[in-house]
C-alpha cells in the first residue's frame, strides 16, 4: 500500500500553484488551476486532483498548452455563444466560460455556451457548482480521447465523456453530481496506480477484451449500464464535439501521444435560471424537501443511509476543509521538490503505455 501524507487544503493548493508557475503558467491561470485541483482532492475526486500535476507540468513545458491564450467570446444569439479557448489551461479557460454563461443566463433566462479549443479541464462539478451558487441550474459535459469500448464492440471509440449537474438549495450547499459515462473515469485508474491498488473487474478490460483488476493492464473502459451509457457517450460527443465543428469519437486527440500538440477539445455548458419558470425560493425549498425525503428512506443492509447523488463528495469536501486531505507521499514529494516533471509521458496510447 502506498504511503500517504496529510496536507491542509491551503498547503496543497500552494504547492500545486508553485509547480504550475514554475512550468510557465501565468499567475491567474496557475491560481485558478490549483484551486480547481485542490477542490477535486477535497471532494475525494482524487482522479482529477494532484495526481495529474506531473502530466500538466510536462505538457505545459513541452508546449501542448497555450501559456497565455487569446481567449474570446463570440455571441451567436440572444442566449447562445462560443467561447474560444485558444488551447489554454482547461481549468482556467472553462472557468472563464462558465462566468460568461452565468451572466448570460441571468440576462436571458438560459445560456447555451460551447467551449472550443481547450485542454483537459478537470472535474465538471467545479463549474456547475458555481452556477448553482448563483441560484441557477447547470449542466456541463465534455469530450475526451477514445478510451471506452462501445457496447457490443471490441475497439475503443468514445471517451469517458463526463456529465455534471447542479441545482441550488434553500438552506444548504447545492446539489452537485458529476459522472463519467464509463463505469469509472480514467483518472480513477491513475489513482489506483499511484496507490498501488487493484481495481474492480467491472471497470475495464485488457488487450484481449477480458475484465481486468490490474490498473496497468487496462486497454478499454466499460460504459455505464451497457447500451445506456453508450448512448450518453454519443450524446456528449455530439454536443461537445460535432456541434462545435471539432473532432469526434476516435479522431479526438490523445492525452499522452504528443505533448507538444494542442488538444483542441470541446465542452458544452447549459445554464438555466429557474426563476423564469417558478418562484426561486419555492424551487430551492423543493430541492431541500427532496433531499430530506431521500434521507428518510430506509437504507439497505450494510448502508448507513440513503444519500442524494453527489452527497458523499460534499461530505468529503466539508471534512477536508477541517482536517485536510490524504495524498500519496510520492506526489507530495514531487510537489515539494525542485523537479519540474519526470518526462514520463509522450508517444503513448490513451492509457499512458
**Catalytic residue among 120, 172, 295, 341, which?**
120
Q: How far apart are the first and last CA of the chain?
A: 23
For 219-277, the DSSP string reads -EEPBTTTHHHHHHHHHHHHHHTGGGT---GGGSPPSSS-TTS---EEEEEEEE-GGGT
Indicate the DSSP class of residue 158: B
φ, ψ (nearest 5 deg) of residue 4: -110, 160
Write out 265-287 in H/E/C secondary structure: EEEEEEEECHHHCCCHHHHHHHH
Q: How many CB atoms are closer than 10 A to CB 352?
A: 18
Q: How far, in whole angstroms, is CA 313 from its chain's centroid?
A: 13
Distance separating alpha carbons of residues 286 and 292, to the nearest angstrom: 10
- Rounded to whole angstroms, what are the CA distances from 82 to 33, 74, 112, 115? 22, 5, 9, 6
267 neighbors 142 (Cβ within 8 angstroms): yes
- 120 given a catalytic annotation: yes
Q: Which helix (H) or strand (E) holds 141?
A: strand 137-142
Q: How many CB atoms are closer than 10 A to CB 185?
A: 25
113 neighbors 83 (Cβ within 8 angstroms): yes
- Enumerate the H helices of 63-89 as residue ranges: none
3-state secondary structure of 21: helix
Residues identified as active-site: 120
Amino acid at each position: 500500500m502506498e504511503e500517504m501524507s496529510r496536507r491542509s487544503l491551503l498547503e496543497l493548493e500552494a504547492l500545486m500553484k508553485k509547480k504550475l508557475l514554475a512550468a510557465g503558467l501565468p499567475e491567474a491561470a496557475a491560481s485558478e488551476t490549483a484551486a480547481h485541483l485542490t477542490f477535486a482532492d477535497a471532494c475525494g475526486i482524487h482522479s482529477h486532483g494532484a495526481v495529474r500535476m506531473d502530466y500538466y507540468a510536462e505538457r505545459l513545458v513541452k508546449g501542448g498548452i497555450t501559456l497565455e491564450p487569446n481567449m474570446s467570446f463570440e455571441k451567436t444569439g440572444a442566449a447562445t455563444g462560443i467561447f474560444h479557448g485558444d488551447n489554454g489551461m482547461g481549468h482556467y479557460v472553462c472557468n472563464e466560460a462558465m462566468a460568461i454563461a452565468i451572466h448570460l443566463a441571468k440576462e436571458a433566462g438560459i445560456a447555451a455556451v460551447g467551449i472550443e479549443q481547450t485542454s483537459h479541464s478537470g472535474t465538471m462539478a467545479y463549474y456547475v457548482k458555481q452556477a448553482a451558487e448563483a441560484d441557477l441550474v447547470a449542466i456541463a459535459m465534455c469530450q475526451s480521447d477514445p478510451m471506452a469500448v462501445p457496447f457490443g464492440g471490441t475497439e475503443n471509440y468514445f471517451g469517458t465523456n463526463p456529465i455534471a449537474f447542479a441545482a441550488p438549495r434553500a438552506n444548504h450547499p447545492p446539489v452537485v453530481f458529476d459522472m463519467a459515462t464509463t463505469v469509472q473515469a480514467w483518472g480513477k485508474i491513475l489513482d489506483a496506480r499511484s496507490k498501488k491498488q487493484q481495481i474492480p473487474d467491472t471497470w475495464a478490460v485488457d488487450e484481449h477484451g477480458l475484465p481486468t483488476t490490474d490498473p496497468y493492464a487496462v486497454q478499454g473502459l466499460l460504459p455505464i449500464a451497457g447500451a445506456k451509457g453508450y448512448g450518453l457517450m454519443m450524446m456528449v460527443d455530439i454536443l461537445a464535439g460535432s456541434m462545435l465543428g471539432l473532432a469526434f469519437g476516435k479522431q479526438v486527440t490523445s492525452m499522452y501521444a504528443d505533448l507538444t500538440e494542442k488538444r483542441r477539445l470541446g465542452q458544452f455548458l447549459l445554464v438555466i435560471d429557474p426563476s423564469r419558470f417558478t418562484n426561486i425560493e419555492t424551487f430551492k425549498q423543493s430541492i431541500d424537501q427532496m433531499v430530506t425525503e431521500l434521507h428518510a428512506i430506509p437504507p439497505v443492509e450494510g448502508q448507513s443511509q440513503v444519500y442524494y447523488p453527489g452527497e458523499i463528495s460534499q461530505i468529503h469536501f466539508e471534512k477536508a476543509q477541517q482536517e485536510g486531505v490524504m495524498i500519496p507521499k510520492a506526489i507530495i514529494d514531487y510537489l515539494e521538490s525542485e523537479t519540474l516533471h519526470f518526462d514520463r509521458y509522450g508517444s503513448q496510447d490513451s492509457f499512458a503505455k
